[in-house]
Structure 1
Amino acid sequence: MLSLSLLTILVGCVTTKGRNFNFAHVNSLQLGQTTKQQALEMFGEPKVEKEVTNDFNDFTLFQYIFVEINSARPQDSGARLMTLEFVDEKLNGYYYSATYEGDLGTRNLGGRKRINRQSSAHNDVIREMGQPDGKAYYTTTLQIFDEGSGEEIWIYNQDTRKEDNSTIAEKTLIGFDRDGVVDNITSSKTKVN
């Protein structure tokens, strides 16, 4: 039987911030269809809700944040964050990021080489690259989409740790026209540390 002092030490090793939300619903989000109420049913109350206005629309942002620090087993530490953006009660954009293994699914940023402007559609992009980390209609207040263009923009992020312990952050934005056909592909790589 564990002693009370050992149990206290073990329990004290894990610190959490925010409420753990169900990331499994991310792939159920549909631009222009998912309502604020449906999002609340899927993910619960956001950590932050705020109103933002630009020259085009009034936006409501839901921000979900969860951080777990496990000092006894650092490899089990992680974070999830997600922002949902709504216009007129309907989903206009979202971005999701996580450090937990398996949360983000499989992606292949190299698959962008097989994406063809003017002929590839949504299904082609998913087949070659996997599910995106976010989607947004133009216009959006979500700054992560600023480098992209198109009626609808998808984002893929991938971090790769190098032998020198530096990290390369790679971002690919795929823009679609009104008919759902790829009309723009933008990629960038940044050395983080």
Structure 2
Amino acid sequence: MDLLKLRHYGFIFILLLLTGCVTTIGRNFQKLEEPQIRPGETTAQDILARMGKPNTTNALYQGTAYNYIYHNRNAKAVNPDEVATRFQTFNFNNKDILTGYQFGSSFVEDSTLFKTDNVKKIQTGDSKSQVLRVLGDPSGIERYPHDPRYAYVLVYSYPKTTHSDSTFSMVNSVVNVVFGHNEQVVRLETFNLNTD
């Protein structure tokens, strides 16, 4: 299995078989991003001090991911048929040093919704500035991918959460734009992670 894709499987951690009266799950939070956190410098203890205990952790290839998630059925989501969801995942190497992070939200105020139709406009050889023009700002970055051919990965993600029959179900749409050491796109990955 692809190691870059594996890093995103921290989202498959929700078994939310809950009673119908539950309107929120998890603890609300504000996203952390650079310069608040710095891949290569920030530690797992730093994240714990800022965010508290994660909802879940999961093993990565030579590391660990901390996963934070919050659902609120009463909050306004981007799409009216969705539950407002916010998540952030922090990836650490085996020395507990941050290698990357990913944020996703369907809350109106900090939505990470991106135009999936624009993904097909990204081509091998495109520059970072071209990618940003087409897709906008990324919702995460992986600065230390495990394959030495790659320099870093810009991550775009959007969680679509629904609620029915007392169950929450989240599908996370993810696009990884992988850059080589020449600052050009060398690979593009798109996939959906389903928490069912």
- Aligning the two structures, in what range does the TM-score lie when normalised by the shorter sequence? 0.5 to 0.7
* Alignment equivalent of 1:134, drawn from 132, 137, 140: 140
**What is the alpha-carbon distance in structure 2 between the residues aligned to residue 117 and residue 77 of structure 1?**
35
Structure 1 equivalent of residue 96 of structure 2: 89
- Verify: 1:178 aligned to 2:186, yes or no: no
Partner of 2:13: none
AA aligned opposite 2:69: I
CA deviations on 1:110-140 (whole Å, 9 max, x unpaired) are 555664533503x442343222233223239
Considering only CA atoms, is the larger Rg found in Structure 1 or Structure 2? 1
Report how many aligned residue pairs link the two structures: 156
- The verdict on how the C-alpha distance between 1:18 and 1:33 changes in structure 2, with shifts beyond 3 A counting, is same
Instruction: Tell me what 1:3 maps to.
Output: none
TM-score (norm 2): 0.59
Q: Output the TM-score relative to the length of structure 1.
A: 0.59
2:25 is aligned with 1:17? yes
| In 2, Cα distance between equivalents of 1:99 and 1:53 | 26
With a CA cutoff of 8 Å and minimum separation of 6, indicate the structure with the bigger relative contact order: 2
Distance 2:130 2:116 in 1: 13
The 8 Å contact of residues 106 and 113 in structure 2, kept in 1 or not, is answered as no
Write the distance in 1 (CA, Å) between the matches of 2:97 and 2:104.
21
Equivalent position amino acid for 1:103 in 2: D
Gaps of 5+ in 2: 1-20, 161-170
Identical aligned residues as a percent: 25
- Paired residues of 1:36 and 1:90 also in contact (CA < 8 A): yes
Q: Structure 1 pair 108/67, CA: closer, same or farther in 2 (3 Å)?
A: closer
Deviation for aligned residue 1:94? 2.3
- Aligned residue type for 2:72: E
Question: Unpaired runs of 5+ in structure 1?
Answer: 1-12, 141-148, 161-167
Alpha-carbon distance in structure 1 between the residues aligned to 2:45 and 2:130: 31
User: Larger helix proportion, structure 1 or 2?
Assistant: 1
Q: Please report how far the alpha carbon of residue 26 of structure 1 lies from its aligned counterpart in structure 2 after TM superposition.
A: 3.5
How far off is 1:79 after superposition? Answer: 1.8
Using a 3 Å threshold, how does the CA distance of structure 1 residues 60 and 98 change in structure 2: closer, same or farther? same
Contact residue 151 and residue 176 of structure 1 kept, 8 A: yes
Q: 91, 99, 105: which one pairs with 2:106? A: 99
